[in-house]
Amino acid sequence: MPHDFDSTVLREYDIRGIIGETLGPDDARAIGRGFATLLQRDLGDDVTPLVAVGYDGRVSSPILEHALIEGLTASGCNVRRIGMGPTPMLYYAEASAEEVDGGIQITGSHNPANYNGFKMVFRGRPFFGADIQALGRLGREADWLDGSGEVESLDVMDAYIDRLMTGLDGIDTGALAGLSVAWDAGNGAAGPALERLAARLPGQHHLLFTEVDGNFPNHHPDPTVEANLEDLRTLVAEKSCDFGIAFDGDGDRIGAIDGEGRVIWGDQLLMIYAEDLLGKLPNSTIIADVKASRALFETVEKHGGKPLMWKTGHSLIKSKMKEVSSPLAGEMSGHVFFADTYYGYDDALYAGVRLIAASARLGRSVTELRGTMPAMLNTPELRFQVDESRKFAAIDEVKTRLTGPNVPADVEVNSTDGVRVTTPDGWWLLRASNTQDVLVARAESETQDGLDRLMGQIDEQLSLSGLERGDSVGH
């Protein structure tokens, strides 16, 4: 039987939809059949593929897991069930075992409780873009292989925690006896793993909301929204913690605050990680997305690294890391990727361990490291609705206007991902989202007057394309 997916479900970096409306068990089954077919055709007829499957703490996840496994086995894949846990635990199960050919995590990430979806790894590389569209084509044509795969269950959490602890290799853990850290799992899938990790880390650890609850009763698990860090900020103050760490719903994105309650944004965390890593691996290429602060790229240069600005999107960043052999990369959204002594995927629990290690190696508290960062004025990520048919065209129009002969000599235009324009006031960005019908804007300056002028330039360019910013919309 052919299967048609809802037009909103097959996205650029993952598969995501609303349970009971745009996504359900039939879709999960078709995803399993399509993924298994692609893997079998890639490996050849004489190999039986093995796929690791995990899921997050959402109410709908077990139902989708059951249907996904039905699809995978019906098209001839063997399945290794690793149970509920954070997305990076699934990545670990795929990356650490030679016999595993692919991995699928059922997760709605940081989306509301009625969403769910799938993140996938295909023979060690991200599965996105044209790969995901291929699942749609296979479904429409019912072009699936038939087979009969087997299912095994394997508990990998203890091995995963062991691997996380290697982030402290070379650190005198005895010197960290006085360390105090607050953690907020946000009732997401990382909670049980965090409990086991914190029990083994040196110092004192205070945990919030580690009980997995797919209804997210305390706050929404998106650490890039400052309001979601209030409980963590309160705990840091009450317990006089050195810093605090928060996770998103599936544990692949990190948020942080220092001991004074100041947010440490994704690009600022990357500044700390970069300084630490470049002390060991000088001249390394460090990648950040186009939304990152100028201060980050300058910090990488200052400490002897090569900064590389790249496109937003965790799959795109991971692919670029492999291409240029980068040991470290990150995004404003809190995805941080370590490939120096780790696997190159985004793991917020490992990033938390590496923050402890970086502070110890650099000999400065996280609060001190945050306090010495340049004081930049920047907007949050501004997202506003634009018709799907206009969003990329509008960016092209802006690009054309800003690369003409009348552009001032002191204006630099970077078109890596949308348009990032650097002027004497700072920089501003306009890019089209790959996953929604929105444009994304951001600006940064050293002064409020400069920031106001930059925002004026964004508004001017939008106006010339018949658009306006309007009210910002959510993720």
**Hey, which residues are catalytic here?**
109
Among the residues of 44-111, which ranges form H helices?
61-74, 87-95
How many residues are present in the chain?
475
Element (H, E) at 371: helix 366-371
Q: How far is CA 96 from CA 89, 116, 123, 197, in A?
A: 10, 26, 12, 19
In the structure encoding, which two tokens stand for residue 393, read together? 């065209």
Containing H/E element for 377?
strand 377-378
Strand order across the beta sheet in which 243-247 lies: 204-208, 180-184, 243-247, 254-258, 263-264
What are the tokens at 116?
A: 């769910």
3-class secondary structure, 404: coil
Around 187, how many Cα atoms within 13 Å sit in the side-chain half-sphere? 15
Let me know the angle formed at the C-alpha of 170 by 168 and 175, rounded to the nearest 5 degrees.
Answer: 75
Q: Decide: 346 and 337 in contact? Cβ < 8 Å.
A: yes
Assigned token pair, 462 = 């939008």
Residue 420 and residue 413 in contact, taking contact as beta carbons nearer than 8 Å: yes
Q: Please tell me the distance from the alpha carbon of residue 466 to that of residue 470, in angstroms, as a whole number.
A: 12
Q: How far apart are CA 12 and CA 312, in angstroms?
A: 11
Biggest CA–CA distance in the chain, Å, is 66
